[in-house]
Chains A and B, each alone.
Chain A
Amino acid sequence: MSTTAIDIHPSYQPEGLEGQGFFATSLDKVVGLARANSLWPLPFATSCCGIEFMATMASHYDLARFGSERLSFSPRQADLLMVMGTISKKMGPILRQVYEQMAEPKWVLSMGACASSGGIFDTYSVLQGIDRIIPVDVYIPGCPPRPEQVLDGILQIQKLAESEERRRRESPEYKALLAQYGIE
């Protein structure tokens, strides 16, 4: 056994005042830090990408390392909507309903070509990208994306969550964005 002490670096440390036994920073940043590292994803898995998400969750890639292993199947408690797989027109209204049921703050991750743009299925029955019905924060390309890409996507969402101002969701810009999609 090596005796070297292991240095533990938190992945992100906000700016602030540091001293013996205390650390002071703004509330925004603390909240952001807490939110980012305990995202509860709602896996909205419809097809192939869902199987890759299973691989991401399982032992080899282990999403739990990033604090997101607690899947919330109820939209009420979820922070992150992960849309994985083709969304058909028949499914569209359901996806939208799930999004509307989620509490603020909420983020949306669109995984794979189908969810992002319709992918190879440029057909009469497939919705050409979920951003036609709900706003999307991060897109992951690939058909399906590798688990590493999914992890990267989650890290991107964490960055967003960390740096989000507490009052952004009440801002007129945000309301205008939702109004574009016809969401109250």
Chain B
Amino acid sequence: MNATSSTYDEKQYSTLNLGPTHPATHGIFQNILTMDGEMIVDSVSTVGYIHRAFEKLAEHRPYNQITPITDRLNYCSSPINNMGWHMTVEKLIGAEIPKRAQYMRVIIMELSRIADHIVCDTVIAVDTGAMTGFLHLFQYREWIYEIFEEICGARLTTNIGRIGGMERDFSPKAWEKLDHFLKNFPTGLREFQKLVDRNRIFMDRTINVGGITVDMALDYGFTGPNLRAAGVDYDVRVANPYSSYEDFEFDIPVGTNGDTYDRYMVRMEEMWQSLRIIEQAVKNIPDGAYHADLPEFYLPEKQDVYNKMEALIYHFKIVMGETAVPKGEVYHSVEGGNGELGFYLVSDGGRQPFRLHFRRPCFIYYQAYPDMIRGGMLSDAILTMSSMNVIAGELDA
């Protein structure tokens, strides 16, 4: 630049590196921002900081060993990922799942949707300065984890269910805990909503911040709560029902602006709808078997393995991954915590998938982030990110 010319009327941009270990980004994402004072002019995202090669790993694992990998996609709602994977394989082998198992799956999936949305919504509140809500609602989230623990023995990365159904029936203790949760959670959620929903500061910080239009959202491949906040009523549970979702009555909350407040409110309302679904499922759950009659894929009872020849053979075959799987390609998607979580599975009949591609909603919609924060303030960009619920594990696979 010529030193003699006046620099007063020329814009000076500064570069700010946000991430990858910035405390406010809730995950490891790097954004190199071009700033005009406090305004964001442009940003470049770098991802891949926890790329763990899920797709390559899946090509080297037998079908039942892929479930633990799916846990670690969106770890805030692992059970949904597990169920999505089981249903994909069940579609491939053409298995019919008993109604009871389907309802059990619905209960688990909706519980984990609540757990997922609790994390996202409380974190939005934390980023606007409301730590209390976080501490309050996490207590209820702990109860959900206790239910999971009672059902499958793990809290976060659940590895819940099996190909063909559930690994065991819900214990009486699990029902009791579920009941306790259903009775008490509405109070807690209402308290949280009273604290945050109409809070002046919260509304000022979130309304008309980080908005996205319908066209842009569709162009960028948004799904899930983020797309619904923009105003499209697309929900995989309704569009392509799986696991008996057609039996339940629930609403799809839809926003209008696609801004941070709408995303927050859509998630809030989805928690209420999930509660509604769980209540219906608990009320109407039929008796019967909790797994399909699939000896080639479903691990037999341990007692039978010791006493029955057939069970022993099947146990060996399943554990060693020797069961024949039909050739073909299948796509199945579930409504994950963040949107359409799809599994594209190509099988060549071998013990492990020939190719497994995950449609990871986070990865797809996070690329809109630079467009969403352009022209806004830095502090709003943080809020936009947390309201999009970007989960690093799902993003980087």
Contacts of B69 in A (CB 8 A): 120
Looking at the assembled complex, report how far the CB atom of A12 sits from the nearest CB atom of chain B, in whole angstroms.
Answer: 28
Contact: A48 with B156, CB < 8 Å?
yes
Report Cα–Cα, A134/B72, bound state, in Å. Answer: 25
| Chain B proximity mask over A117-128: 1 for CB below 8 Å, otherwise 0 | 000110111100
| B53–A46 touching, CB < 8 Å | no
| CB closest residue in chain B, given A98 | B21
Does B107 make an interface contact (CB < 8 A)?
A: no
Q: Is the CB of B157 within 8 A of A143?
A: yes
A78-98 vs B, CB cutoff 8 Å, 1 = contact: the mask equals: 000000011110110010001
Known contacts A58-B138, A60-B138, A126-B52: A48-B21 contact under CB 8 Å: no
**In the complex the two chains form, is B57's CB within 8 Å of A123's CB?**
yes
Is there a chain B Cβ closer than 8 Å to A54's Cβ? yes
Determine if A123 and B393 form an interchain contact, defined as CB atoms under 8 angstroms apart: no
Q: Is B20 an interface residue (CB 8 A)?
A: yes
Interface membership of A52, Cβ < 8 A = yes
> A46-B28, A91-B20 are contacts. A144–B157 as well, Cβ < 8 Å?
yes
> Are A55 and B72 in contact, CB atoms less than 8 angstroms apart?
no
Chain A residues, CB < 8 A from B71: 48
Query: Please, what's the 1-or-0 string for A39-56, where 1 marks a CB less than 8 Å from any CB in chain B?
Result: 000001111101110110
Give complex CA distance A126, B75 in Å: 18
**Does the CB pair A51–B119 fall under 8 Å?**
yes
Query: Contacts of A66 on B, CB cut-off 8 Å?
Result: none
Among B20, B21, B76, find the residue whose CB has the most chain A CB atoms closer than 10 A. Answer: B21
B135 at the interface (CB under 8 A from A): yes
Min Cβ gap B127→A in Å is: 14
Q: Is the CB of A88 within 8 A of B50?
A: yes
Q: Is the CB of B138 within 8 A of A46?
A: no
The interface size bin for chain A is: 20 to 34
Among B20, B22, B53, B393, the residue within 8 A (CB) of A124 is B53
- The residue of chain A having its C-beta at the shortest distance from the C-beta of B138 within the complex is A58
A55 close to B52 (CB less than 8 A): no
Instruction: Tell me if B134 is interfacial: C-beta within 8 Å of chain A.
Output: yes
Contact status of A52 and B156, CB under 8 A, knowing A58-B135, A59-B138, A98-B21: yes
Inter-subunit contact B50/A55 (CB<8 Å): no
B28 touches A91 (CB 8 A): yes
In the bound complex, what is the Cα–Cα distance between A124 and B55 (angstroms)? 12
Contacts A59-B135, A73-B23, A94-B20; A123 near B28 (Cβ below 8 A): no
Nearest residue, chain A, Cβ from B392: A47
B48 touches A90 (CB 8 A): yes
Is B68 a contact partner of A47 (Cβ separation < 8 A)?
Answer: no
Q: Which of B100-158 contact A (CB under 8 A)?
A: 119, 134-136, 138-139, 141-142, 145, 155-157
Q: Once the chains bind, are B50 and A47 in contact (CB under 8 Å)?
A: yes
How far apart are B70's CB and chain A's nearest CB, in angstroms? 12
B53/A59 in contact, CB under 8 A: no
Q: Is A35 an interface residue (CB 8 A)?
A: no
A60 and B142 form a contact (CB under 8 A): yes
Q: In the complex, are the beta carbons of A90 and B392 less than 8 A apart?
A: no
Contact surface of A with B, Cβ cutoff 8 Å: 44-48, 50-52, 54-55, 58-60, 71, 73, 85-88, 90-91, 94, 98, 120-121, 123-126, 143-144, 146
A-B contact pairs, 7 of them (CB 8 A): A46-B392, A47-B75, A48-B156, A59-B135, A73-B23, A85-B50, A120-B68
Q: Closest 8 CB pairs between A and B? A: A73-B23, A58-B138, A123-B53, A48-B75, A60-B142, A59-B135, A121-B52, A47-B393
